[in-house]
């Protein structure tokens, strides 16, 4: 799993059928800020731009989390980090 920041959303006019109706977001690992490396992840939890999220970055686990067993899913957002106020 990775801790990432949501940078924005992906607009796609042509998708694999298994991904129809799924929201795709661009995320970047928190400790890699300043680099241009980012991922596209299927949103499973309703994350928004700017959120810190937990990303599952493994094919089988990502497909199961996104409920796309036949989809080409490499990363899925499975949680939103809530810092609360108890830090």
CATH code where residue 60 lies: 2.40.50.220
- Residue 20, domain member (yes or no): yes
Handedness of CA 51, 68, 62, 40 (dihedral sign): negative
On whether the CB atoms of residues 39 and 12 are closer than 8 A, the answer is: no
What digits encode the pLDDT tens for the residues 46-86?
999 999 999 988 767 666 666 666 777 778 898 999 875 55
> Which domain, by its residues, includes 12?
2-80
Mean pLDDT value across the chain: 81
Number of domains the chain is built from: 1
pTM recorded for the entire structure: 0.80
28 within a domain of the structure (yes/no): yes
Judge whether 49 and 9 are in contact, CB under 8 Å.
yes
pLDDT digits (tens, 9 = 90+) for 16-47: 776 677 889 999 998 766 777 889 898 889 99
């Amino acid at each position: 799993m990775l801790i990432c920041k949501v940078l924005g959303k992906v607009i796609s006019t042509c998708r694999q059928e298994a991904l129809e109706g799924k929201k795709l977001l661009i995320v970047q690992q928190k400790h890699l800020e300043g680099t241009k490396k980012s991922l596209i992840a299927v949103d499973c939890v309703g994350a928004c731009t700017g959120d810190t999220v937990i990303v599952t970055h493994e094919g089988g686990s990502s497909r199961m989390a996104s409920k796309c067993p036949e989809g080409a899913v490499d990363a899925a957002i499975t949680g939103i980090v809530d810092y609360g106020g108890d830090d």
